[in-house]
Structure 1
Amino acid sequence: MEENHFKFTNAVIGVPLFFVLFLWFVYWLEIRFGFDFDNNGILPRTFSGLQGIVFSPFIHSNIEHLYNNSIPLLVLLAALFFFYRKEAFGILVYGILLSGTLTWIIGRENYHIGASSLIYVLVSFIFFKGIQTQYYRLVALSLTVVVLYGGTVWYVFPKIDETISWEGHLSGLIVGFVLTFFYKKPEFKKVIKYDWERSDYNPSEDKFMQRFDENGNFVNPPKPEIIEETASEISPFFLSNSNVVYDFVENIEDINEKNESKPES
């Protein structure tokens, strides 16, 4: 697959905006009508807490929590839908479900809410998948993600901050890495423009490379081979498939007499 796989579509902007706006809409409903959606979060190892696997990414404790998750989601979802557009929806859905399930298994006995686990899924997938493909654009994207969000890796460890769900972060990191093996991208092939880029290229057969010695010094080009052409015999007579009748005269006087004898029309 070549570079034209990366195409800008409406989903690159539309999906991140819609997702983040929906998070703000849910928070507005909670504030406007006095709802408490925290109880709909993930409560590990309880039957009622299973609903949080689906609902927890859309619930936030306060506006600061929501704001801190909104900017990374916009950036990471846009990168996902641009560079991995065919896999994006699957990663988004399975990332939410699998990271929520793992959090439900390993989490503390408390409600776990917020889209931070999804953020860790996206960071992990984009980083590890870019390294696996070894394609220069995706590797550059992986390095960009490391520069922007590499510091967040510390929050997958316990006791760094007791107010955050490090279990959700760790679950997202693990799930994102695992998804890189389920979503295999085709190998990116570089477009071959020159003969020396081919695998079967032999410099000794290249006329240009023959002008350089082993040390790279310019040498006189080899003398061109002189091909001797054999002269072909040309027939002095006109050849034709039609019958040609030749009328020979002896001298010019006979020609004049013949012309004078023709009647005038």
Structure 2
Amino acid sequence: MAYGPYGVAVPAPASRGERVKNAALLVGGWVALLWVLEAIDVATGHALDTFGITPREFGELRDVPAAFVHFGWDHLAANSVPLLLLGFLAALSGIRRFLAVVTVTILVSGLGVWLTASEHSITAGASGVVFGLFGYLLVRGFVDRRIGDVVIGLVVGAVYGSILWGVLPTTAGVSWQGHLFGLIGGVASAFVFRRPREARA
């Protein structure tokens, strides 16, 4: 326990090992949950697919958090590896900040799909979160003015930069809207949840 101004007790900062452990457990548990949900979906004859987003129907606003539903194992597998890697890197800077970033990204991506997706389409999956985490990590270091995070962002850009083609309507059956608005949500989160000036110092 550490003491802040006026002798008020505040929790001591987590060690690097604790941050790594907490980030790994959280992101690993999240991806494991997605696989459990897909198993339930398959076992129930794809009953969970109804929680995908159908655009511009007000009753479908409840399904905006459709990032937890996938259309098959291949769909989920394609999202799992980048979710694990990008999610782990993002969660290292703090669990509460990570959860806030993911929440904003899911909502912005889902609402963007609801507003702009094609008629009679149904959209689900965590790819919007993947794009959000990518955008967040890409700009976080510049927003917070932290050299280490800038380096992480540059590495992430070099490894995953090609996914930016996914924000363009070039592939049938792929929700470029979810990707685009997820990216916007992630970049916006880097500014909304920037570190306080004293923490950056």
TM bucket by the smaller chain? Answer: 0.7 to 0.9
> Using a 3 Å threshold, how does the CA distance of structure 1 residues 143 and 84 change in structure 2: closer, same or farther?
farther
TM alignment of 1:236-247, pairs within 5 A: none
C-alpha distance in structure 2 between counterparts of 1:41 and 1:8, whole Å: 38
C-alpha distance in structure 2 between counterparts of 1:130 and 1:90, whole Å: 17
**Contact 1:41 1:51 survives alignment (8 Å):** no
C-alpha distance in structure 1 between counterparts of 2:194 and 2:142, whole Å: 13
Higher Rg: 1
Could you list the per-position Cα deviations for residues 160-181 of structure 1 after superposition, in whole angstroms to 9, with x for gaps in the alignment? 1112100000010111111122
Q: Which residue of 2 aligns with 1:111?
A: 122
Matched, 1:44 2:42: no
Q: Which residue of 2 aligns with 1:32?
A: 43
2:44 corresponds to which letter in structure 1?
Answer: F
Identify the range of structure 1 (101-110 vs 161-170) with the bigger mean alpha-carbon deviation: 101-110
Matched, 1:171 2:181: yes
SS of structure 1 residue aligned to 2:74: helix
Matched, 1:76 2:86: yes
**Contact 1:8 1:82 survives alignment (8 Å):** no
TM alignment of 1:224-239, pairs within 5 A: none
Higher relative contact order (CA 8 A, sep 6+): 2
TM alignment of 1:178-197, pairs within 5 A: 178-187=188-197, 188-189=200-201
Q: CA deviation at 1:76?
A: 1.2
Q: CA deviation at 1:60?
A: 1.0
Matched, 1:130 2:141: yes
Q: CA deviation at 1:5?
A: 7.7
Query: Structure 1 stretches of 5 or more lacking a match?
Result: 190-265
C-alpha distance in structure 1 between counterparts of 2:134 and 2:166, whole Å: 13
**In percent, how many aligned pairs have the same letter?**
28
Could you list the per-position Cα deviations for residues 159-211 of structure 1 after superposition, in whole angstroms to 9, with x for gaps in the alignment? x111210000001011111112211213433xxxxxxxxxxxxxxxxxxxxxx
**Contact 2:143 2:194 survives alignment (8 Å):** no
Q: Which residue of 1 aligns with 2:104?
A: 94
Equivalent position to 1:157, from 139, 160, 168:
168
C-alpha distance in structure 2 between counterparts of 1:135 and 1:94, whole Å: 22
Q: Which residue of 2 aligns with 1:254?
A: none
Structure (1 or 2) with the greater helix fraction: 2
Identify the range of structure 1 (85-94 vs 166-175) with the bigger mean alpha-carbon deviation: 85-94
C-alpha distance in structure 1 between counterparts of 2:30 and 2:55, whole Å: 25
Q: CA deviation at 1:18?
A: 0.9
C-alpha distance in structure 2 between counterparts of 1:104 and 1:186, whole Å: 33
Q: Which residue of 2 aligns with 1:236?
A: none
